[in-house]
Amino acid sequence: MAIEFKATSAPKPTKGLYMALDELDIETACIIAQTKESYHLNNRIKVSSLEDFLNQES
């Protein structure tokens, strides 16, 4: 899993994130942002608050 941090409440994945996922053969990513609820952007990328990310079950 790749992790990217954003200082916004409406994060968007960067081209670099997609490139890293493909080049390093990483299946999923999580963008940690200032959000109240976690949600999926697509089948590979999830947006989550830091609290939700730290409390998630593996």
Domain range enclosing 11: 2-55
Q: What is the DSSP string of 12-39?
A: ---HHHHHHHHHTT---EEEE-S-SS-E
Please give the model's pTM, rounded to 2 decimal places: 0.87
Count of domains observed in the chain: 1
Q: With b meaning 16 or more CB within 10 Å and e meaning fewer, what string describes 32-50?
A: bbebeeeeeeeebbbbbbe
Q: Are 21 and 48 in contact, with CB atoms under 8 Å apart?
A: no
Q: Rounded mean pLDDT of the chain?
A: 93
pLDDT in tens, 21-39: 999 999 999 999 999 999 9
